[in-house]
């Protein structure tokens, strides 16, 4: 869908919306809302200029942070629904979009293999994880929550907010939670929930859920999967010949709760997170009274199973529409999109491994690649200096800039993997998130440009 098709789709939908709006009676907007055309033009001209200060997140030349453009269909659906501005907190605020949310969340739950569930969309993955940790605390008051040192930093922050004690578990050389220290903590009997990360934000590492679940069950401990980044890759795990390690993904159905972010690999605008619980009875922990809110339906209102109040119904409309067009299927729809991003990560890492100028840090499991220039001496300081030089040169190149990301790694961690001189506490390396399907075709050019930059630095 190109920009002209998008504009025509939006224009057509707006015309249809106006017919519906006028069916309630035509009225004029209040004079206080009327604006002079000149002022409107000036404000939007300035807006357009200000927005040019952004990096090109939409382009394959941007391979920095986890920023992915929403699908044009999602943009159109969001914009169209915003003309009504529904609020999915209560069925009264968004009867149509609440149904779309329920249907979309059910599709995501089915993708993970949940035969029953309680779940909803959230304004972010952080809030989705907050809700999962809130339920974990409610089920096991006084017990600790454990997560790896590579898990998202908000787990520790959310636990502090909830007043829950935490245990940070070390990771192995690939950035996954180390099962030996985890079991040592489980033996103490004071852990209530273990968080498994399915796609860490720094390395893209996938915790071995297929081993974590039986270990935790042995000690009667719950498992929460933070699959905010990597959850949708379960579609690739369901392929006949998976191009990822399938086992961790195929055990997601056994988790007590799951978080996934449609605004990452689900092609949605910000913010759109999702939290799912395998046991619907945990909804009792959300119980509250709002005598002026839930009155038009005896069905469960989404606000009765969420910590948030007002939420954009437009987010549900965008997700629902996208799933109609790109269904959650392994060999079609969203599965084909993710297949290209995964192949892009593998292809880029393959180019790096054959070069005498670059070193992969860990082998990518999804579409995040971490790497650094080979230096002499092979030390934290020399790697950091050269990495930052290449990073800056790539970003300011006058004709073909590359937008990458930097990642700080503890030198002690690098020393366990390489014959490395730890002359400072951390080393700065490069990190590329190849989460756009267009990256697969762009990878050869990206590598050639990096090779040239490395030779010049």
> What does the pLDDT read at residue 338?
98
Is the distance from CB of 365 to CB of 150 less than 8 angstroms? no
Q: Which two tokens stand for residue 88?
A: 């999915």
> What does the pLDDT read at residue 437?
97
Judgement on whether residues 253 and 396 belong to the same structural domain of the protein: no
Residue 162 has pLDDT above 60, yes or no: yes
Render pLDDT for 85-120 as a digit per residue (tens, 0 to 9). Answer: 999 988 888 999 999 999 999 999 999 999 999 999
Lowest mean pLDDT among 4-8, 172-176, 248-252, 267-271: 4-8
Judgement on whether residues 408 and 431 belong to the same structural domain of the protein: yes
- 3-state SS class at 351: helix
Residue 151 has pLDDT above 60, yes or no: yes
Which residue, 283, 300, 325, sits at the end of a domain?
325
> What does the pLDDT read at residue 89?
86
Pairing verdict, β 144-148 and 273-277: unpaired
Q: What is the DSSP letter of 176?
A: P
pLDDT grade for 292, boundaries at 50, 70 and 90: very low
**Tally of domains in the chain:** 2
Residue 201 has pLDDT above 90, yes or no: yes
> What does the pLDDT read at residue 289?
63
Judgement on whether residues 369 and 225 belong to the same structural domain of the protein: no
In a domain, 40, yes or no: no
Query: What residues contact residue 258 under an 8 Å CB cut-off, 6+ apart?
Result: 112, 114, 224, 225, 227, 231, 252, 275, 276
Q: Which two tokens stand for residue 261?
A: 């972010």
**Exposed e or buried b for every residue in 360-370, given b needs 16+ CB within 10 A?**
bbbebbbbbbb
Pairing verdict, β 368-373 and 358-362: antiparallel
> What does the pLDDT read at residue 220?
97
Judgement on whether residues 371 and 398 belong to the same structural domain of the protein: yes
Judgement on whether residues 117 and 161 belong to the same structural domain of the protein: yes
Q: Which two tokens stand for residue 158?
A: 């959310």
| Distance of alpha carbon 289 from the chain centroid | 32
> What does the pLDDT read at residue 90?
81
Cα first-last separation, the chain: 40
Pairing verdict, β 405-410 and 426-433: antiparallel
Judgement on whether residues 368 and 316 belong to the same structural domain of the protein: no
Judgement on whether residues 223 and 344 belong to the same structural domain of the protein: no
184: left (phi over 0), alpha (psi -120 to 50) or beta: alpha
Adjacent-strand bridge partners of 166 = 145
In a domain, 264, yes or no: yes
Domain that holds residue 371: 334-456
Pairing verdict, β 222-226 and 191-197: parallel
Render pLDDT for 117-142 as a digit per residue (tens, 0 to 9). Answer: 999 999 999 999 999 999 999 999 99
Average pLDDT, the chain: 94
CATH code of the domain containing 353:
3.90.1150.170
In a domain, 351, yes or no: yes
Among 37, 38, 56, residue whose Cα is nearest residue 397: 56
Helix, strand, coil % (nearest 5) of the chain? 45, 15, 40
Q: Whole-prediction pTM value?
A: 0.94
In a domain, 362, yes or no: yes
Lowest mean pLDDT among 219-223, 295-299, 307-311: 295-299
Which residue, 297, 325, 353, sits at the end of a domain?
325
Judgement on whether residues 298 and 163 belong to the same structural domain of the protein: yes
Judgement on whether residues 132 and 243 belong to the same structural domain of the protein: yes
CATH code of the domain containing 125:
3.40.640.10
In a domain, 76, yes or no: no
Residue 428 has pLDDT above 60, yes or no: yes
Adjacent-strand bridge partners of 122 = 273
Neighbours of 341 (CB within 10 A): 24
Percentage of the residues of the chain whose pLDDT score is greater than 90: 86
> What does the pLDDT read at residue 286?
86
Query: What is d(CA 255, CA 155) in angstroms, rounded to the nearest whole number?
Result: 17
Render pLDDT for 299-343 as a digit per residue (tens, 0 to 9). Answer: 567 888 888 989 999 999 999 999 999 999 999 999 999 999 999
Average pLDDT over residues 212-234: 98
In a domain, 51, yes or no: no
Query: What is d(CA 235, CA 110) in angstroms, rounded to the nearest whole number?
Result: 11
Judgement on whether residues 283 and 377 belong to the same structural domain of the protein: no
In a domain, 59, yes or no: no
In a domain, 7, yes or no: no
Give me the sign of the Cα torsion angle 153, 159, 160, 164.
negative
Which residue, 286, 308, 325, sits at the end of a domain?
325
Judgement on whether residues 297 and 348 belong to the same structural domain of the protein: no
Judgement on whether residues 231 and 100 belong to the same structural domain of the protein: yes
């Amino acid at each position: 869908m190109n920009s002209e098709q998008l504009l025509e789709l939006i224009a057509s939908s707006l015309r249809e919306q106006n017919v519906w709006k006028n069916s309630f009676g035509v009225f004029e907007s209040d004079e206080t809302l009327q604006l002079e055309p000149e002022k409107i033009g000036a404000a939007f001209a300035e807006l357009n200029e200000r927005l040019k200060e952004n990096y090109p997140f939409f382009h394959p030349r941007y391979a920095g942070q986890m920023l992915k453009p929403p699908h044009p269909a999602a943009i159109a659906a969001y914009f169209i629904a915003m003309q009504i501005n529904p609020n999915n907190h209560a069925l009264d605020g968004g009867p149509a979009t609440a149904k779309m949310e329920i249907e979309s969340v059910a599709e995501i739950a089915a993708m993970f293999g949940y035969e029953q569930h309680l779940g909803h969309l959230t304004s972010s993955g952080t809030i989705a994880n907050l809700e999962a940790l809130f339920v974990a605390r409610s089920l096991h008051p006084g017990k600790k929550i454990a997560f790896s040192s590579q898990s998202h930093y908000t787990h520790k922050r959310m636990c502090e907010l909830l007043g829950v004690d935490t245990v940070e578990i070390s990771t192995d050389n690939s950035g996954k939670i180390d099962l030996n220290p985890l079991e040592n903590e489980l033996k103490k009997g004071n852990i209530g929930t273990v968080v498994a990360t399915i796609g860490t934000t720094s390395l893209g590492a996938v915790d071995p859920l297929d081993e974590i679940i039986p270990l935790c069950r042995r000690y009667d401990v719950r498992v929460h999967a933070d699959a905010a980044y990597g959850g949708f890759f379960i579609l690739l795990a369901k392929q006949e010949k998976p191009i990822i390690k399938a086992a961790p993904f195929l055990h997601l159905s056994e988790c007590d709760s799951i978080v996934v972010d449609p605004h990452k690999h689900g092609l949605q605008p910000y913010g759109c997170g999702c939290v799912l619980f395998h046991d619907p009875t945990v909804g009792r922990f959300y119980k509250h009274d709002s005598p002026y809110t839930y009155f038009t339906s005896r069905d469960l209102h989404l606000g009765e199973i969420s910590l948030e109040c007002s939420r954009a119904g437009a987010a549900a409309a965008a997700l629902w529409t996208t799933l109609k067009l790109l269904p959650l299927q392994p060999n079609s729809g969203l599965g084909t999109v993710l297949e290209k991003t995964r192949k892009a990560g593998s292809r880029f890492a393959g180019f790096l491994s054959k070069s005498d100028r670059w070193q992969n840090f860990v082998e990518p499991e999804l579409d995040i690649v971490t790497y650094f220039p080979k230096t002499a001496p092979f030390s934290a300081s020399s790697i950091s200096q050269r990495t930052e030089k290449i990073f800056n040169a790539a970003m300011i190149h006058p004709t073909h800039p590359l937008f990458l990301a930097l990642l700080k790694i503890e030198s002690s961690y690098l020393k366990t993997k390489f014959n490395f001189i730890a002359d400072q506490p951390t080393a700065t390396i490069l990190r590329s998130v190849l989460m756009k399907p267009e990256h697969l075709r762009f990878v050869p050019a990206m590598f050639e440009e990096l090779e040239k930059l490395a030779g010049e630095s």
